[in-house]
Amino acid sequence: MNWLTARQGYFIYNFINLNIGSIVIVPKAQVFSVYRVIETPEVFSSTKTNVDEKYDIGFMVKVELLYEDVSRYDYLDSTLNSKLKFRGTNLVFNDEDTKLIERMITSVENKTPIDDFSETKKSILREINQYITSIGHDKFERLIVSYLKHIGADKVVIPSKKDKGNNDARADIDVKAAFNKLGIVIYVQAKCHNGTSDTTGIQQLLAYESEVDDDFKLLVPVKWFITSGELVNNYEDHLPEVYKAKADELKYIKIINGTDFAELLFDSGFVFDSKIYKK
């Protein structure tokens, strides 16, 4: 075996030491395939492979295909991608690499690319939600004001509780936001609750039918109910009969619970700092 150099011997040694269950990654241009070893390595057999003996490849091992032509860009981090550029016959990964490979296989299995930050986002949303449940009603209103300004409102106000105009005494709006180019005004009823909100805020929105501020009178009203908690389940069933009669209007009220609002803040790129509470 004068042809067998130390380098080639190393590659053969790696090959014949594959075990049943070993993972084999075969790199290609821009993609890679993943196999699992299902038999122990053995000397090449033309009988078993139906390959002519003149193509004797020395040793062989039976594998099963797990994933074929997986995108390197989507599923390999820089460490694995760099190692798969190795030009030798084979390469044995260390324990740290093995952990990366296990995570990669899980990602491929779940179809979650390496740049999928969904779990990170979920963690951030939980923190935002926990924060907004703790700030109290006044700051919660100011936070909503800052958010509406952030997404482009032309004018945002916290209206007086005293001036209800021709509206029912039950009527109440915590925040108004004018979007002149859209021709709408968003009426917000806000509840800072750590738990379940009842239908009081919904009733207050339904009772607000007549605009008292000239700056908003020509705009089409859009009603939002924002709670830092959760609105009671099947809230329509909990409404007094007088408000159940407003079913057509009820279905157009946008319900935003704590996790919804946290996501709106996050997705808009909202920046939390002390300025958001300045009046």
H or E stretch at 25: strand 23-27
Domain with 133 in it: 121-277
pLDDT number for residue 209: 86
Examine residue 116 and state whether it is found in any structural domain, yes or no. Answer: no
Q: CA-CA distance, 39 to 57, in Å (whole number)?
A: 17
Q: Which residues of the chain have pLDDT under 50?
A: none
pLDDT number for residue 205: 92
Examine residue 152 and state whether it is found in any structural domain, yes or no. Answer: yes
pLDDT tens-digit series, residues 83-104:
887 777 778 888 888 898 998 9
Same domain, 134 and 61: no
Same domain, 271 and 140: yes
Same domain, 33 and 160: no
pLDDT tens-digit series, residues 49-65:
777 777 666 788 889 99
**Rounded to the nearest 10 degrees, how much is the dihedral formed by the CA atoms of 140, 142, 145, 150?**
-100
Same domain, 78 and 130: no
pLDDT number for residue 6: 61
In angstroms, the first-to-last Cα distance of the chain is 86
Q: How many Cβ atoms from other residues are within 10 Å of residue 198's Cβ?
A: 15
Same domain, 177 and 202: yes
